[in-house]
Copies of this chain bind each other. A is one copy, B any other.
Amino acid sequence: MTGLSANKIKWIRSLQQKKFRDELDLFVIEGEKLVTEAIFTCPDAIELIVHTDRFSYPINSQIETILTSENDFKRISSLQHPQGCLAILKKNKKQVFPEEKGLILALDSVQDPGNLGTILRIADWFGIKQVVCSHTTVDCYNPKVVQSSMGAVLRINIQYTQLETWLEKTNLPVYGALLEGSSIYKESLPEEAVIVMGNEGNGISEEVTTFVTHPVTIPSFGGSESLNVAVATGIIVSEFRRS
A contact set with B: CB distance below 8 Å: 114, 118, 121-128, 148, 150-152, 155, 185, 218-228, 230-235, 238-239, 241-242
Contacts and interface: CB of A to CB of B under 8 A. Distances in A.
A225 B126 contact: no
Contacts of A152: 223-224
B234 A227 contact: yes
A41 to B, nearest CB: 9
A124 B224 CA distance: 5
A227 B127 contact: no
B118 A228 contact: yes
Contacts of A218: 125, 238
A92 to B, nearest CB: 15
Query: Which secondary structure dominates where chain A touches chain B?
Result: helix
A155 B127 CA distance: 36
Contact of A241 (B123, B219, B224): B219
Contact of A118 (B124, B150, B231): B231
9 contacts: A114-B114, A121-B228, A125-B218, A125-B226, A148-B228, A150-B224, A155-B223, A185-B242, A218-B238
B225 A150 contact: yes
A21 to B, nearest CB: 23
A125 B224 contact: yes
Instruction: Give the residue among A114, A221, A235 with the most B Cβ atoms within 10 A.
Output: A235
B235 A221 contact: no
Interface centre among A118, A121, A152 (most CB of B within 10 A): A121
Contacts of A242: 185
Contact of A221 (B150, B219, B233, B241): B241
